[in-house]
Amino acid sequence: VKGDFKDTQFSQVEVADKVVEQYDDEQARVFYKYVMGGGGLDIHYGAYCKSTDTVYESSKETNDRLLSVLNWTRPITSDSLVLDVGSGHGGLSHECAMRFGCQVHGINISPQQNKMNLDEAKKLGLNVDGESPKVLCDLLNFNNGLPTEWTGKFTHILSCEVLCHAANKPELLKELTRVLKPGGAFCFTDIMGSDGADEKVLKDFTDRNATTKMARPSEYSALLKEAGFQQISFNDFSPHLVHYFQGMVDQIEKHRSDMLSEGVDSAYLDKWMTSLTSRVDIQKNHEVFAWGIFSCRLKGPIF
């Protein structure tokens, strides 16, 4: 079954191809649309304002919090140029451009997702023929580095649930410092193992996701400092994870027939259900996963 990475932790060379397999396979696109996106374009974990929030609502809340933190770290104006690392279907890019009137330049490894991103940007009126587009998107594997001509180009960088797929996190962070202007802000969310968690206990996650070794919050803080970032902070939203994992289980149960009718294999859904049910239990009882928003900036002015 494609996207099943049982008993496999990928090398730095392998991980990019496996990320494409995880998200660009036809049945995977259908699965993530229903189970993580809740019918929307935001394929990432959610923050909850109330226990009855849906997967869709919680994902939107994550977008709102991430964009707010990015704006707090360095004010976003219509003149800002934002890099969205691993822009996916473009949901966060669209919200950033609409909220602040800035230009957002996405990079992403999936051709199908990039097409959906730009098609939606046009529908939203962000990209109008004959005018400078508000949303750009390049097909790019960040594990191979970023374009040399981007040095000092961006005022802000954001990323949502992507760095877990980075082949070499220290090298990627160095690249991000290179393409930021002095005083530039970087904010991101990522799924991590909690500090002290045994990698073997996280196996239920790595069996279903194209990752190398999962990072820890304390590790990210140290790596950001080593890369040259300052004013590093972490908003810990780990308690929200158990609600989101349960929300994914509920989505499979609610939309199983819809996904089967759209070509998702029953065995694919069964393996996800087993994995997610285990994930709910292990997070509820052992809190082995961590998640939240990191924010930091380079030394320099805020305008």
Predicted pLDDT at 196: 86
Closest to 127 measured CA to CA, from 139, 138, 118: 118
Residue 227 is predicted with a pLDDT of: 98
Enter the tokens of residue 58.
């919680």
Give mean pLDDT, residues 150-157: 98
- Which tokens belong to 73? 């770290």
Q: Is the pLDDT reported for residue 62 higher than 70?
A: yes
Q: Supply the pTM of this predicted model.
A: 0.90
Residue 153 has pLDDT above 80, yes or no: yes
What's the confidence (pLDDT) of residue 41? 87
pLDDT tier for residue 17 given thresholds of 50, 70 and 90: low
Q: Which residue has the tokens 């977008």?
A: 63
- Inter-residue contact 113 to 88 (CB < 8 Å): yes
What are φ and ψ of residue 149, in 5° steps? -75, -5
Percent of the chain with pLDDT over 90: 78
Residue 212: pLDDT band with limits 50, 70, 90: low
- Contact present, 158 and 176 (Cβ < 8 Å): no
Instruction: Give the span between the Cα atoms of 216 and 201, in whole angstroms.
Output: 14
What is the arithmetic mean of pLDDT over 127-151?
Answer: 96
pLDDT above 80 (res 14)? no
The DSSP bridge pattern shows strands 289-297 and 230-236 to be antiparallel
Q: How far is the first Cα of the chain from the last one, in angstroms, to the nearest whole number?
A: 50
Mean pLDDT of 29-42: 90
Question: What mean pLDDT do residues 77-98 have?
Answer: 97
Chain centroid offset of residue 119 CA: 20
- Write out the E strands in 150-198: 154-160, 180-193
The pLDDT value recorded for residue 273 is 95
* Phi, then psi, of 147 in degrees rounded to 5: -55, 140
Average pLDDT of span 145-167: 95
